[in-house]
Amino acid sequence: MDRFMRTAIEEAKQGLLEGGIPIGSVLVKDGEIIGRGHNKRVQENNPIAHAEIDCLVNSGRVGKYSGTTLYSTLMPCYLCAGAIVQFRIKKIVVGESETFSGAKEFMELHGVEIIDLNIEECKQLMKDFIQNNPELWNEDIGELQ
Secondary structure of residue 84 in the 3-state scheme: helix
- DSSP structure class, residue 48: T
User: What's 59's domain CATH number?
Assistant: 3.40.140.10
Which pLDDT band, with edges at 50, 70 and 90, does 4 fall under?
very high
What is the rounded distance in angstroms from the CA atom of residue 25 to the CA atom of residue 14?
11
Inside any domain, residue 57 = yes
Domain residue limits at 78: 3-136
Is residue 141 in a domain?
Answer: no
Residue 127 resides in a domain: yes
Task: Count structural domains, the chain.
Answer: 1
Give the 3-state secondary structure of residue 82: helix
Edge-first strand order for the sheet with 91-94 is 32-38, 24-29, 68-72, 91-94, 113-116
What pLDDT shows up at residue 91? 98
Q: Would 142 be classed as within a structural domain? A: no
Q: What is the pLDDT of residue 65?
A: 93
| 145 lies in some domain | no
| Residues with catalytic roles | 52
pLDDT at res. 144: 67
40-91 pLDDT, tens digit each:
999 999 999 999 999 999 999 999 998 999 999 999 999 999 999 999 999 9
Assigned domain for 34 exists: yes
Return the CA Rg of the chain.
14
Which tens digits make up the pLDDT trace of 92-141?
Answer: 999 999 999 999 999 999 999 999 999 999 999 999 999 999 888 888 87
Per the CB < 8 A criterion, the answer to whether 23 and 142 are in contact is no
Residue 50 lies in a domain: yes
